[in-house]
Structure 1
Amino acid sequence: MRPLNRPIEAWAGQRIWLVGASTGIGAALAADLLQAGARVALSARRAELLAQVAAGHPQALVAPFDILDQQAWCARYHEIRARLGGIDLIVFCAADYRPERSWEVSPGGAAYTLGVNLGSVYAGLATVLPDMLARGSGGIAIVASVAGYVGLPNASVYGPSKAALINLAELLYADLHPRGLNVYLINPGFVQTPLTDKNQFTMPALQTPQAAARSIRRGFAAGDFEIHFPKRFTMLLKLLQWLPYRLRFALIGHYLIPQ
């Protein structure tokens, strides 16, 4: 069977815009792609952290901005396009996470998490898609999470935002693949990052950001639509999706909800 996307095996000269590149998976993936020869524009709010990721890589472009500011998206895109000559792939990796039960959610906190995790992706799509569609090529990579597979405790806003990203990636593929664009859905399991450091429980199959970056690059090279890892954990959650609600809720209540 043919891959769902055109495989990316050679990264030299590829022009990447990585949004959320200051820490965690984003920083590790940026370093990995830079090492492979890609030209990478690094974006997040904290310029000093982006500079650390870019250090030693002359083909890196540090481009900090606030992803919740629509005007800033447009300004940064025009700058990056002028410097790199265009964008071949944009990776949406910015995220906010607050471990909280449903009764602990505040409207302001929920709005912020949804704005970072979901709203910023729509802002980015509105910014880059016109040029990609005009030339009939390019790629969109959305970092969601296995937390979007099923409703899990402590992910009262984060989980629904990631479920929305999974749905968005699926419909983007249906819309954009016939028009020549690649669409990638990236669903990591637990990865050691500043976000998961907030968790107060043992995280199964915990990976380093570097291992996550290698898995993502392998998925790009294979032309996968969904890139999920580590398989020994993600396949269990996929199985949980298929169970009847009565059994699923029983398992979640027994193993995942603090007593």
Structure 2
Amino acid sequence: MITAGLDIGSRTIALVEWDGKRVIREEVVFTGMNPVENANRLISGRHYDYLVATGYGRHLAKENSIADEVISEITAYAFGACTLYPDAGTILDIGGQDSKVILIGSNGSVANFEMNDRCAAGTGRFLENMAAALSIDVKDMGEYALEAQGEPVTISNMCTVFAETEVISYVSRGVDSHQIGLGIHKSIANRVTAMVRRVGLRSRFVFAGGVALNPCMRKLISEALLTEVIIPDSPQTLGAFGAAMKAVQKIS
């Protein structure tokens, strides 16, 4: 029995394959301009007993006969996290274009959630834009910010355009770029931890999405919430993993 989960996001597509005992394949590619074509390329030549899609493009997967069923991102992330961590309490996901917080209730159910998908603030895209303003590769931003010797600068604007203007102003005034980088991270951490507090914080606290790979974000969020941050081995594929587990449930 081979099941699969496909998470078609605005920036990336994640695929997880499950053979009934373990993950046998996981892959992440850019969504690009043609998500259907790129999703089909991921699963080309593969046979699945059941495939569940999630993410922004899940309905495209259903309409184009890629998926047998679709589920919401909230359901996929909650189910994936609870499969990996049966005692998971709160999940934070920071992706390329959105951030979401999910509070887990009894039996792995979703008790509450909040999603920010209307503004780039608190997302990977915001971090990418700020890294570009500092001429730093976004993959290096976390380590770079942690090298700051002084206090972080204050980024008061969460609008990307105005925040970028603030960053450029700091640079022109000769402010240490490490402190600017730390301030950028802190502005994102402040926004997402405010979401966590509104939704509810229960341990264990699971942090997923591509931004979970950033060591500075992990540190600031852990310090702000005074809790241990649990990072899945593959934080970018948690939604796809949850979809694959839903597929198992469907045919069991």
Normalising to structure 2: TM-score of the pair? 0.27
The structure with the greater share of residues assigned to helix is 1
Higher relative contact order (CA 8 A, sep 6+): 2
Instruction: Looking at secondary structure, tell me which structure has more strand per residue.
Output: 2
